[in-house]
Structure 1
Amino acid sequence: MYARITEEPLSVADVAARVGDDRSGAVVTFTGVVRNHDDGQPVTAIDYSAHPQAEAILAGLVEECAQRDGVHGAAAAHRVGHLEVGDLAMVVAVSAEHRGEAFAAASDLVDAVKAGVPVWKCQWLADGSHEWSGLP
């Protein structure tokens, strides 16, 4: 199990390597990338910030994922700080006995991270303005 909130650039290979298990026949990864638009507006960068407990909450979600039937490893990392278009914002990896279990667990983990980990983003728009996104 691996859960990390970091200002350092993320590595898909590093996160995926943390879920390796000889019992697994599948490893699924998800990579969240900063895109150049949101809701019809051009985006140039994102500033992510996180609550001090964000990593502990992320660890709980990763642990919950790792306990699913057929899953042998789960890992997630989320970046904070200033990210440019094309930078990796989140990486999730899940290993499982079969691909169906791995895909389902990875998808559910991504959804849980987005819904439950207190990470917020301020999007910088092409006109120089900014807006907070994803607030309840």
Structure 2
Amino acid sequence: MHARISDRPLAVEAIAEQAVDDRSGAVVTFTGVVRDHDAGRRVTAIDYSAHPQAESMLAGLVEECALRDGVHGAAAAHRVGHLEVGDLAMVVAVSAEHRGEAFAAASDLVDAVKAGVPVWKCQWMADGSHEWSGLP
């Protein structure tokens, strides 16, 4: 298992390797990428910040995912700091007996991270304005 909140660029292969297990027939990865738009407005960058306990909360979700039936490994990482369009913001990897289990567990882990890990983003718009999302 692997869970990290990082201010450094994320490496998909390195994170996926943390989830690999010889009992698994499938390894699924998800990459969340900074896109150039949101709600019809052009986005130029995102600044992510996280609560000091975000990494331990992420670790709990990764551990919970790894305990699912048929799942043998899980890993997740989320970036903080300034990201440009195209940068990786989140990487999730899950290994499981079969692809269906791996896809379902990876999807659920992504949803759990977005809902339960205190990471906030400030989106910078092309017109120079900014807006926060992810705040309680």
What TM-score, normalized by structure 2, do the two folds share?
A: 0.99
Partner in structure 2 of residue 123 of structure 1: 123
Structure 2 gap segments, 5+ residues each? none
2:98 paired with 1:93: no
**SS of alignment partner, residue 55 of structure 2:** helix
How many Å apart are 1:30 and its aligned residue? 0.2
CA RMSD of superposed structures (Å): 0.6
Offset from partner CA, 1:80-125 (integer Å, 9 cap, x none): 0000000000000000000000000000000000000000000000
What TM-score, normalized by structure 1, do the two folds share?
A: 0.99
Structure 1 gap segments, 5+ residues each? none
* Contact residue 34 and residue 88 of structure 2 kept, 8 A: yes
* Contact residue 119 and residue 134 of structure 2 kept, 8 A: no
Partner in structure 1 of residue 59 of structure 2: 59
Runs of 4+ in 1 over 2 A off after TM superposition: none
Q: Aligned letter for 1:96?
A: A
Matches within 5 A, 1:32-51: 32-51=32-51
* Contact residue 49 and residue 119 of structure 2 kept, 8 A: yes
**SS of alignment partner, residue 22 of structure 1:** coil
Offset from partner CA, 1:3-45 (integer Å, 9 cap, x none): 0000000011011111111100000000000000001110000
**SS of alignment partner, residue 61 of structure 2:** helix
Q: How many residues align?
A: 136
